[in-house]
Amino acid sequence: MNLRRTTTTRRALAAATIAAGLALSVTACGGDGEKSDGEATKSSAPAQRGSDSKEQSSEPATNEPLAEVKGEGGITLTVTSAQRDAGGFVTVKGTVANGTGKAWVPVDWRGDERELMSNGGSIAGASLVDQKDKKKYLILRDTEGRCLCTRFTGGVRNGQTADWYAQFPAPPEGTSEVAFQVGSMPPAQLDITEGN
């Protein structure tokens, strides 16, 4: 009787070991998601995050712009981000769309200062306005007076959209609401986010 119980226990243990080994190998390999007859199966492995993955990351994925303003004649300025960086500046990015019916060169966007005139058709005349503390932050420049911003070389053709960026000194840490102003465009109200 003792021999029969030992044999039965060994068989059960061997079957459990084989089943566990098969389950482990299937889980570890992951397979290619197909059965041998060509039918797709669902994988129990977590999905890989790739460039074409639609999964949400830890940051909220949104294509909503921070602000969008329309100027006279069919120019649309969109602000997609305003980020405070560790270096003590704020980088504002966005797009400008030309719906004027002709090519557009942003002459009035380069600013009135003599130093900025050499920047040509650019966004050099932009500013951030902290309405709460009543301060205005002008665009940053290098030692030769070139703005740390986009230059629209050749302008923007009718029906086209161009990306732009502009860098400003950062307002104090407690300030997160500012207005972005350029040329004769209406002010765009922004919330500054913290960068890495």
Q: Is residue 10 part of a domain?
A: yes
**Are 184 and 131 in a shared domain?**
yes
* Residue 138, domain CATH: 2.60.40
**Are 13 and 110 in a shared domain?**
no
Strands 89-98 and 161-169: antiparallel
Q: What pLDDT shows up at residue 95? A: 94
pLDDT digit string, tens, across residues 26-58: 444 444 444 444 444 433 343 443 334 334 334
Q: What 3-state DSSP class applies to 194?
A: strand
- As a whole number, mean pLDDT of residues 143-167 equals 90
> What's the structural domain count of the chain?
2
**Are 16 and 106 in a shared domain?**
no
**Are 129 and 72 in a shared domain?**
yes
**Are 128 and 190 in a shared domain?**
yes
Q: What pLDDT shows up at residue 25? A: 45
pLDDT digit string, tens, across residues 169-178: 999 888 889 9
Pair of tokens at residue 15? 């079957």
**Are 178 and 109 in a shared domain?**
yes
Query: What Å distances lie between residue 70 and 61, 95, 125, 130, CA to CA?
Result: 25, 12, 17, 21
**Are 73 and 26 in a shared domain?**
no
**Are 90 and 184 in a shared domain?**
yes
**Are 25 and 118 in a shared domain?**
no
Strands 67-70 and 75-84: antiparallel
Q: What pTM did the predictor assign?
A: 0.65
Q: Is residue 51 part of a domain?
A: no
Pair of tokens at residue 54? 């639609």
Q: Is residue 91 part of a domain?
A: yes
Q: What pLDDT shows up at residue 18? A: 58
Count of beta carbons in the 10 Å neighbourhood of residue 110 = 25
Q: pLDDT at residue 120 above 50?
A: yes
Q: pLDDT at residue 22 above 50?
A: no
pLDDT digit string, tens, across residues 124-140: 889 999 988 899 999 99
78 is in which domain, residue-wise?
A: 67-194
Alpha helices in the chain (DSSP H): 2-29
Q: Is residue 24 part of a domain?
A: yes
Q: pLDDT at residue 4 above 90?
A: no
**Are 122 and 73 in a shared domain?**
yes
Q: Is residue 57 part of a domain?
A: no
* Reported confidence tier of residue 12, pLDDT bands at 50, 70, 90: low
